[in-house]
Structure 1
Amino acid sequence: MRSANLSLVLRRLRDEGPRSRARLATELGLTRSAVSALVGELEDRGLVRRGGVERGGLGRPGTAVELDGGAVCGIGAEVNVNHVATMALDLAGDVVAEHRLDLDANRLAVDEVLDRLAELVLTTDAEVRATGRTTVGCVVGVAGLLDRTHEVLTVGPNLHWKNVPVGAGLRARLGGEYPVTIDNESNLAAVAEATPGDAARQDILVIFGEVGMGGGIVVDGRPLRGHQGYAGEFGHMIVEPGGRRCGCGRVGCWETVAGMRALLDAAADPDDPVRDPDLSLADRLAEINRRAELGDARTLAALDQLGSWIGVGAAMLANALNPAAIVLSGYYAELGDHLRPAIAEQLLAGVLAPQAGGTRVEFSTLGFTAAVRGGATVALEAVFDDPTVVAPRSDALTGGTR
């Protein structure tokens, strides 16, 4: 019961922001003395601290309580086709450390890619510890179908990986006791978009585009993974029967008309510098945006075609799930202003319900950090679920143990 009440207080502060002890007592249905004791314990664990003065209520102003980011961090990590990356977030949601290493996972052996990722995780963890914080967990996102029970990447069409034991491989490199969890990178990107306390961001779909295309479903603020954890593989819906063959081996997948390859094929000749495989994704998108801003007809036509195909698939998903919002993340967000009109047109035309069933189209502001940010957020859930996983600071002073 104590752990559950500590969790209630901590989640309320995360979801609703700083508030006084009196206000917490009223909102949570607890006595003021109980809330004061709970806040005192959370303070001792370094999870909350005193904030400013809360005004606006009846009676004397009270001192607000707020999340304290000084004690713990969660680390998010990602394996994708053209990079590995990490990010550490503290409990208050602030970035403590961040790293990204560009590489071509298709040209490297699996072991070498995992070596590079493990090095980034260890570097990030060392930076967290150098600030006096503790890492409570690391959640790693991988691109492809993931067997979460066994932490095996069953199929990674764009990575060209099959039946890779990612979890076991990373633990062998980080040490068997290191707190690692493996998840799908698009699911983690979806978690990062579900803003706590924002009712309009609790039931959303996230469509994530990079080299490939994936997505995630968030219901009541939590990811919906499906019966065996394979939900969200939007990129492999068949939208063009008889179309181009996909990296998964099938024909006409959404990814074949809305992925990066489709955009480049439409926008540039094979020898165009924008298609140089050594060009970073950021530089490639910057050049496409530059050409669009200059009014290049071929680029604008390619972006309009891309937006139309995104809208076709988005309408299918909106008909099936009627989310509050469809959030376009990854490289789609970088091109958002040029894609929006065609997406909106197809969504209105393709959704049966009036005005697209109220589904909004939004573009992520997280760039290519969504998956690692989501991983760090999921890692920190262990603390919000049970704050007693963090040792009281008084134990260190008295020599006690948890």
Structure 2
Amino acid sequence: MPETNRPTERLSTAGVSIWLDDLSRERLDTGNLAGLVDSHDVVGVTTNPTIFAGALSEGDAYDAALADLAGTDVEAAVERITTDDVRAAADVLRGVYDRTGTVDGRVSIEVDPRLARDTAATVDTAKRLWRTVDRPNVMIKIPATVEGLPAITETLAAGISVNVTLIFSIERYRAVMDAFLAGLEQARENGHDLSVIGSVASFFVSRVDSAVDDALEKVGTDEARALQGTAAIANARLAYAAYQEVFEADSTGRWTALRQAGAHPQRPLWASTGVKNPDYPDTLYVTELVAPGVVNTMPQATLDAVADHGEIPEDTVTGTADAAAATIAAIEAQGVSMDEVTAQLEAEGVTKFEKSWDELLTTTKTGLDAAGS
């Protein structure tokens, strides 16, 4: 790998696309997002209800928008504000989208998390958000719940790019890749150009360590404690091996035809990469998950840490599947069930996003009421 001047550039050269896990009107108005493209090699943006709830509750960047929307139904106002932000961010990143042949330059917006168990409503909302944002480089985020899987397929079949979120287990990730392949096969049958349909599979990282570490602490043995901080990276490395099986080895026998029709693979995206345990290095979930063809979406603090002192190796994932499987086996030998942990994390993830959505509605209503008084 040729020497480059900064850690984020070295990370990009190693094949990792850096996406910012944050968006706000202030970032857009001040040019901060555009600046990060230049200074920190950011080539994409992800959002979620928690991010928008935080953005609306801080500062005065949304005061004018709330004044314009005074008297509007609160849910309609939330959709207007969030889609306006995502559209503006997509415009900022349009040059990246064009330069990378539609691979990067993507901005994600999430379907109302209260619909996570409702397939039809998820699809309807995804289509509406796609029409409303009206930018080719937007991605609609759909959770990888059991009910979300057919929604992923149907949304892709309509020619809409999808960011699949809240993936915790390898088994569910394999189901997500199958839903992606089915969606592209249907999109091809429907006459859509596969080369412009993008998708990522957001595999959550730090939350896995938090949950497994707590379980290992309850076990309380030296052997159990020695395994703390190992589950998330091992789990993600196994996910990358599964990705390689499908998109490099074509283990399903379905990918080659789609690739020949112009399709891009559904890339693994490492999400929840901010370190929650202060005892761990603040760049842990970046430097230990370097591999070609992946996305790492980072909160600002993690991005700053990588830019400041990240030591970027060439590849820390390829060829690690056996060691990762051994780590997971050792954890389960301590009585910690990864199936139970990941099922719990999915349920908690949906609930947390629902709570953030409620907070977003409350904050927006407060702003609308103040603007209309």
Q: Normalising to structure 1: TM-score of the pair?
A: 0.30
Bigger Cα Rg: 1
Q: Which structure's residues are more often strand, by fraction?
A: 1
Q: Normalising to structure 2: TM-score of the pair?
A: 0.31
> Which structure ranks higher in relative contact order (CA pairs < 8 Å, sequence separation ≥ 6)?
2
